[in-house]
């Protein structure tokens, strides 16, 4: 009797997720997808949706915040095949890693929970790990983004907004003649794997004229997340009009953040690059798809980019009721607060000299003009009754 209660508790804890998750997603898994291609054809794909729906490629982007306890409640609504979710690059424990041989799978009409702590900000992947060569190719993949608490791609590298480009390919013959799957067993499934000769090349599941443009403010840094979940290697070529700095790889900052003009991305790899303000330039980023045996370029897709001055400012630092935006700043920085003032606000250079100072009486926002200061790092200091109550770094561009 003791043992059966213990067993029940262990399996209950393993499969039910966090007692109190900070964020959760209700994911459904299907084999009845319909994905529209740029030439009007469709793929009958496998895939993921949030709640009931018809999956397209890729699955939904799952965005969480650094430090959050995350729970994925996953239901298998597909006919027959079991599925799992492998958390590619995340520090999930073995029980939550979605490898059927070493943990568990989700059978038809079952719902189970995965849980992990989003410890390191970065770009990650999730995909099914049952007969993964087949299920991933058929569309069971997506991006997990762990956002940093401030918009800081690596210490000192602030950005205004980020874009996620998930690169993959599709061989339509695999979708039209799906390999037969033995239904009950996620570990031992026999397939003959067809030759892989993809004929569709995706950026976020889109090809050619479907591909979304990257629209940014002329004056902001932009963090570009690049991942490859296809089987071909990619060569990304940036035009000379863009200044591109390689910041992070596989969810960790790189020690040297070098300026690059191109980037190879192997299967399963993720990189983060910073685009410095583009000003009023337009162009496109070329993504080459390299054949897995010959290394030759099979196809190029192009991601257009451009600017729009009317876009909102995304970067906001919030701390203890204070809001500081934008940061980095071109000219004017806004400091607003909900808590009771009045406050003394100072902008101080590295030598300790006060460059701007203002005192608020019965207002909840102070605007400081930094347009005459040199580019660099300044210190924001907020004081009340001669005591410092808040400090932050301000990046002047
Ligand atoms: Cu699957």
Ligand 1: centre distance to CA 79 (Å): 11
Q: Cα(262)–Cα(238) distance, rounded to whole angstroms?
A: 6
Ligand 1: centre distance to CA 76 (Å): 9
110 Cα distance to chain centroid: 28
Ligand 1: centre distance to CA 130 (Å): 5
Name the nearest CA neighbour of 235 among 256, 212, 260: 260
Please give the model's pTM, rounded to 2 decimal places: 0.76
Ligand 1: centre distance to CA 104 (Å): 13
**CA separation (Å) from 3 to 6, 8, 9?**
5, 8, 10
Ligand 1: centre distance to CA 131 (Å): 7
CA angle 31, 72, 49 (to 5 degrees): 35
CATH code for the domain defined by 2-150: 2.60.40.420
Share of the chain above pLDDT 90, in %: 58
Main-chain phi, psi angles of 133, to 5 degrees: -60, -40
Ligand 1: centre distance to CA 166 (Å): 19
SS3 10: helix
- Average pLDDT estimate for 69-87: 92
Domain covering 166-177+187-307 assigned CATH 2.60.40.420 in the classification:
yes
CATH code 2.60.40.1930 region(s) in the chain: 317-396
Ligand 1: centre distance to CA 73 (Å): 16
pLDDT band at residue 289 under the 50/70/90 scheme: very high
DSSP 208: G
Ligand 1: centre distance to CA 142 (Å): 13
Q: Cα(71)–Cα(78) distance, rounded to whole angstroms?
A: 21
DSSP 89: T
**CA separation (Å) from 236 to 86, 280, 286, 387?**
26, 22, 6, 51
For the cut 70, the answer to whether the pLDDT of residue 319 exceeds it is no
**146 touches 89 (CB < 8 A):** no
Write the class of the CATH domain 317-396: mainly beta
**238 touches 262 (CB < 8 A):** yes
Cβ-in-10-Å burial (0-12, 13-18, 19+) of 295 comes to exposed
Interval 362-377: pLDDT, tens: 667 888 999 999 988 8
pLDDT band at residue 181 under the 50/70/90 scheme: low
Ligand 1: centre distance to CA 182 (Å): 12
CATH code 2.60.40.420 region(s) in the chain: 2-150, 166-177+187-307
- Average pLDDT estimate for 81-99: 88
Ligand 1: centre distance to CA 164 (Å): 24
């Amino acid at each position: 009797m003791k043992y059966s209660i213990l067993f029940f508790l262990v399996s209950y804890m393993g499969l039910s997720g966090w007692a109190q998750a900070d964020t959760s997603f209700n994911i459904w898994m299907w084999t009845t997808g319909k994905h529209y291609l740029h030439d009007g054809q469709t793929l009958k794909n496998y895939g993921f949706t949030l709640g009931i729906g018809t999956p397209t490629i890729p699955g939904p982007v799952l965005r969480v915040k650094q430090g959050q306890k995350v729970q994925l409640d996953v239901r298998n609504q597909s006919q027959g095949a079991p599925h799992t979710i492998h958390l590619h690059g995340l520090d999930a424990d073995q029980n939550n890693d979605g490898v059927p041989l070493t943990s568990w799978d989700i059978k038809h009409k079952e719902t189970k929970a995965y849980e992990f702590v989003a410890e390191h900000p970065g770009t990650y992947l999730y995909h099914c790990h049952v007969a993964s060569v087949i299920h991933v190719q058929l569309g069971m993949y997506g991006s997990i983004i762990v956002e940093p608490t401030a918009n800081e791609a690596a210490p000192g590298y602030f950005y205004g907004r980020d874009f996620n480009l998930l690169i993959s390919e599709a061989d339509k013959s695999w979708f039209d003649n799906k390999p037969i799957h033995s239904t009950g067993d996620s570990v031992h499934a026999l397939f003959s794997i067809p030759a892989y000769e993809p004929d569709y090349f995706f950026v976020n599941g889109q090809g050619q004229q479907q591909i979304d443009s990257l629209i940014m403010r002329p004056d902001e840094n932009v963090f570009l997340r690049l991942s490859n979940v296809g089987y071909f290697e990619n060569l990304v070529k940036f035009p000379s009009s863009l200044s591109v700095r390689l910041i992070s790889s596989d969810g960790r900052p790189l020690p040297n953040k070098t300026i690059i003009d191109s980037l190879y991305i192997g299967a399963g790899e993720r990189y983060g690059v910073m685009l410095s303000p583009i000003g009023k330039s337009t162009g496109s980023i070329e993504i080459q798809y390299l054949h897995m045996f010959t290394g030759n370029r099979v196809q190029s897709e192009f991601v257009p980019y451009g600017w729009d001055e009317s876009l909102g400012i995304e970067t906001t630092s919030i701390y203890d009721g204070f809001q500081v935006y934008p940061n980095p700043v071109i000219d004017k920085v806004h400091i607003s607060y909900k808590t009771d003032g009045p406050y003394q606000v100072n902008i101080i250079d590295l030598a300790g000299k006060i460059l701007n100072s203002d005192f608020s009486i019965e207002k909840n926002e102070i605007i400081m003009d930094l347009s005459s200061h040199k580019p660099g790092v300044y210190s924001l200091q907020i004081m009340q009754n001669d005591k410092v109550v808040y400090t932050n770094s301000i990046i002047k561009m």
